[in-house]
Amino acid sequence: MKIALVGFGVVGQGLLEILRDKAAALKASGFEATVVAVATRSKGTLYNPQGLDIGQLLAAAGDFQQYPDTAGLEHGTDILSLIKTCNADVLVECSNTDLQTGQPAIDYCYAAFDSGKHVVLANKGPVAVAYRELVARAAQAGKQLRFEATVMAGTPSIRLAMQALQGCTIREARGILNGTTNYILTQMEGGMSYAEALAQAQQLGYAEADPAGDVEGWDAAGKVIILARALFNSSITFKDMDVKGITAITADDVREAAAAGEKWKLVARVTPDGGSVQPLRVKLSNPLAAVSGATNAITYSTDLMGDVTLVGAGAGRLQTGFGLLSDLLDINRGV
Ligand code: HSE
The DSSP code sequence of 259-285 is: HTTEEEEEEEEEETTEEEEEEEEEETT
For the Cβ of 246 lying below 6 angstroms from any atom of ligand 1, the answer is: no
Q: Ligand 1: which atom is nearest the Cα of residue 208?
A: 1
3-state secondary structure at position 237? coil
For the Cβ of 178 lying below 6 angstroms from any atom of ligand 1, the answer is: yes
pTM over 0.85: yes
The question of whether 223 is a catalytic residue gets the answer yes
Best mutation site among 124, 147, 180 for ligand 1, i.e. most ligand atoms within 8 A of its Cβ?
180
Domain residue spans of the chain: 2-154+317-333, 169-313
> Please, what is the angle between helix 194-203 and helix 179-189, to 10°?
140
Q: Could you tell me if 236 and 269 are in contact, meaning their C-beta atoms sit under 8 angstroms apart?
A: no
Q: Ligand 1: which atom is nearest the Cα of residue 220?
A: 6
For the Cβ of 219 lying below 6 angstroms from any atom of ligand 1, the answer is: yes
User: Which burial class, exposed, middle or buried, applies to 19 when counting CB atoms under 10 A from its CB (0-12, 13-18, 19+)?
Assistant: buried
Which amino acid, one-letter code, is at 175? G
Q: How far is the CA of 181 from the centre of ligand 1 (A)?
A: 9
Q: How far is the CA of 55 from the centre of ligand 1 (A)?
A: 26
For the Cβ of 206 lying below 6 angstroms from any atom of ligand 1, the answer is: yes
Q: Could you tell me if 124 and 101 are in contact, meaning their C-beta atoms sit under 8 angstroms apart?
A: no
Which amino acid, one-letter code, is at 65? Q
The tens-digit pLDDT sequence of the chain (335 residues) is: 999 999 999 999 999 999 999 999 999 999 999 999 999 999 999 999 999 999 999 999 999 999 999 999 999 999 999 999 999 999 999 999 999 999 999 999 999 999 999 999 999 999 999 999 999 999 999 999 999 999 999 999 999 999 999 999 999 999 999 999 999 999 999 999 999 999 999 999 999 999 999 999 999 999 999 999 999 999 999 999 999 999 999 999 999 999 999 999 999 999 999 999 999 999 999 999 999 999 999 999 999 999 999 999 999 999 999 999 999 999 999 97
For the Cβ of 148 lying below 6 angstroms from any atom of ligand 1, the answer is: no
Superfamily of structural domain 169-313: Dihydrodipicolinate Reductase; domain 2 (3.30.360.10)
Best mutation site among 219, 224, 265 for ligand 1, i.e. most ligand atoms within 8 A of its Cβ?
219
| H helix or E strand, kind and range, residue 310 | strand 306-313
Question: Around Cβ 86, how many Cβ atoms within 10 Å?
Answer: 22
Superfamily of structural domain 2-154+317-333: NAD(P)-binding Rossmann-like Domain (3.40.50.720)
Q: How far is CA 45 from CA 16, 38, 89, in A?
A: 16, 6, 17
Q: How far apart are the first and last CA of the chain?
A: 15
For the Cβ of 314 lying below 6 angstroms from any atom of ligand 1, the answer is: yes
**Of residues 244, 281, 248, the one with CA closest to residue 262:** 281
For the Cβ of 179 lying below 6 angstroms from any atom of ligand 1, the answer is: yes
Best mutation site among 214, 320, 324 for ligand 1, i.e. most ligand atoms within 8 A of its Cβ?
214
Q: Which of 143, 223, 263, 265 is catalytic?
A: 223
Distance of alpha carbon 191 from alpha carbon 245, whole angstroms: 20
